[in-house]
Amino acid sequence: MADIADPGHPTASDLDAFADEARVFLDAHAVRRNGSASFEWGRGSDYVGFFGDPRGDDAADVAAARAWQRVRQANGFGWITGPTAYGGRELSSLHDFTYDLIEAEYDAPDTEVLSVIGLGMVGPTILTHGSDYLRERYLPAMYRGDVVACQLFSEPAAGSDLAAVKTRAVRDGDAWVVNGQKVWTSGAHYSEIGELLCRTDAEAPKHRGITAFVLDMSLPGVTVRPLRQMTGGAEFNEVFLDDVRVPDSHRLGEVNGGWQVAVTTLMNERGTVAADSGGVAAAAIQPDRLHALMRHLGRAEDPVARQELAALATDVLAARALTHRATRRLQSGMAPGPEGSIAKLCFSANLARAANFATDLLGHRILADSGEWGTFSWNQLLLAAPALRILGGTEEIMKNIIAERVLGLPKEAAK
């Protein structure tokens, strides 16, 4: 198995030189944001949500993300930690983190449609468990933006209990015939490949009878249907697999060894979701935006509203301090601690509190779009907030991880 390269803890001078290189690249290809700019009521877009704006254009967003990823890769910033054999630079995770911080200072295209699942989860899994053939075929293309990947894990009857997958793969010569259904598949409608988990031994214990594959989404028998969310968007899909022939050359890991492949993906998922606690949603829960809403509604001097805002602001600052602690651990060369799981819980809790607080302030304005700037737009965050309690590991799972592996509490009794 191959691992992402880690040349050790870089020196301060190494990172400074890399940061200078990154800024030269970004100055040439993007516009630096005005760091002094603050939120101003009535200016710009008033969209507030966790998922993409349902009024947006998925195809245009994906095209922009692909184009920017190609530019990054061509200049040495597309896969900073990856092996040079597949287009990477074999630098440390701290170099990668440094670049992300610097790019955030620029108005660059959002590559979340590529990075969260494909480059953040599936790519590292192919690198770890894929054959030389799979790594050579897909990794350069993925980190160049030519191939987008999705994750085909969840099923209608196997969500949190991932080992209970029922999609069947039956060996037929040098191929596997796959039948089943996957659900809640983000980005399946614009993905070229998917990481697929199948049941290959019905008699084995459920964790030991699973095999993983790289699925070409254009194969005959693959049907993708969008799932309309209550936000109005359709980022998720259900995927039907009817007699799909997957070549054995596209198998990840050993036959019936798919659980270890899945664990690799899920470990990357935890870190990716925690690191992705930003964007429009994070900006929305900043106290200045909520205070501006209070002023607009004539509630700026309401003592109850002010107390609630102060409590939320305190928790937002605490979550930010936790993120800074994780950053300092990484900078000092220490292994990641439990901050990722805790940060994910804090972010989802703060997101829900902000959405509910805005709803209490807005009242009927959040029910229908009157065209009034900055009011009905909070409807998107209110409808999306519950999702973060589920995606990337449910809150119950994350709390169990913290309780058992961090606090050392006894495991929950088996039912």
> What is the token pair recorded at 150?
């999705």
- Alpha-carbon 373 to chain mean position: 29
Backbone angles phi, psi at 6, to 5 degrees: -140, 100
- Alpha-carbon 386 to chain mean position: 16
Q: How does DSSP classify residue 312?
A: H
Q: How does DSSP classify residue 217?
A: T
> What is the token pair recorded at 177?
């015939």
239 near 222, Cβ under 8 Å? yes
Helix (H, G, I), strand (E, B) or coil at 335: coil
Give one DSSP letter per residue of 389-408, joined into a string. Answer: GTTTS-HHHHHHHIIIIIS-
262 near 153, Cβ under 8 Å? yes
82 near 143, Cβ under 8 Å? yes
The Cα 313–Cα 304 span in angstroms is: 14
The Cα 258–Cα 4 span in angstroms is: 20
Beta bridge partners of 213: 196, 251
Task: Name which of 215, 75, 70, 195 is nearest 145 in CA terms.
Answer: 70
How many CB atoms within 10 Å of residue 379?
22
Radius of gyration of the chain (CA): 22
Q: Which residues are catalytic?
A: 269
323-344 burial string, b = 16+ CB within 10 Å, else e? beebeeebeeeeeeeebbbbbb
Beta bridge partners of 195: 151, 214
> Which amino acid does the sequence have at 315?
D
249 near 133, Cβ under 8 Å? yes
